[in-house]
Amino acid sequence: MGKDVAAGGESNRRPPPPPPMPLGLRLQLIELSAAIDAVERRDGTVNRALYSVFVEHLMSVRADPSPDAATGAVRSFDFTIDAARGLWARVFAPAAAAPAATPMPVMVYYHGGGFALFSPAVAPFDGVCRRLCGDVGVVVVSVNYRLAPEHRYPAAYDDGVDALRFLDGNGIPGLDGDDVPVDLASCFLAGESAGGNIVHHVANRWAATWQPTAKNLRLAGIIPVQPYFGGEERSPSELALDGVAPVVNLRRSDFSWKAFLPVGADRDHPAAHVTDENAELAEAFPPAMVVIGGFDPLKDWQWRYVDVLRRKGKAVEVAELPDAFHGFYGFPELADAGKVLQDMKVFVQSNRAARATA
């Protein structure tokens, strides 16, 4: 794991120079930022006409249920949870399991996008889930939750919980248990950015309300990757890295909260601002591994989240990557993107074993 720092590890010094990046990656980040700025309006709405061009047509990929040598040994397919609200998921599983294979843990994944953008079909998230399956050794179920501002808080959390309820009652449709057996009692939640925020709130809801009566699915752990938290206060890292770090800046963050939170709410709303006072964590809240990047403007909020979990007596570990920017692990050419998958693998294996022998 990356080196952990003391509780309350907020940044009060000058920001480091930007970490070295390949030119091609810099251009990708510029293009991504331009696409986000093109579709996000100042009034907190999204230009869905432009969005359909930039995201749904140019950035999305189809599921691949029959992979060939070019796509590797991971297959993918989609299934519907609730067509009426557009709730569906994309599954990533080995093309075939070895004979008498041990059931695989399940990872339910929530993509990023500031609560307002993207889907499991967007190429970077499709690629991340494919690598999670292959490198971490899990069957991934990537959830297409409803987007803000058309569907504000708590729609994404509701969809996240309902996806777990569906899996608990139905298993994974389209996956032959004799082909690739899965262990729903070793279920992990993971997601980056807004998806990391969703991971926290869905896990707490599930642990408090649904876990006691669940038939098959038990949460073994959560992995919020650079989770999206905030508040009315501007943290030192937000101020120091604004306009310096790629992808996230104050303007885009403010847009995301304005789009997602209830009309009239500010950034101290409990969905965004997880504190000792408002974080009533369920007794069965699962162990957490929080991924924090040193070049992420949101890192101070993420460290505060870690501190809250610790003060509440919850099991939490930190994977800290000093040079990582927000969204880094969507780019496999970066060494940190591979390293964090190995950290995730260790976390999954150790927590699964603890559950299995309990």
CA distance 138 to 351: 13
Residue 77's Cβ-side half-sphere holds a number of Cα atoms within 13 Å equal to 13
Q: Which two tokens stand for residue 31?
A: 């293009």
Residue 193 a catalytic site member = yes
Task: Dump the DSSP string for 48-109.
Answer: HHHHIIIIIITTB----SS--TTTTTEEEEEEEEEGGGTEEEEEEEESSPPTTPPPEEEEEE
CA distance 217 to 171: 9
Q: Which two tokens stand for residue 220?
A: 């073994």
Residue 200 a catalytic site member = no
Rama region for 115: left / alpha / beta (φ>0; ψ in -120 to 50; rest)? left
Residues 6+ apart with CB under 8 A from 334: 21, 25, 324, 328
**Omega into 332 within 30° of 0, i.e. cis?**
no
**Distance from first CA to last CA of the chain, Å, rounded?**
24
Pairing of strands 219-225, 182-192: parallel
Residue 296 a catalytic site member = yes
Annotated catalytic residue: which of 142, 273, 326, 336? 326
Annotated catalytic residue: which of 126, 296, 336, 343? 296
Annotated catalytic residue: which of 76, 193, 235, 256? 193
Residues annotated as part of the active site? 193, 296, 326
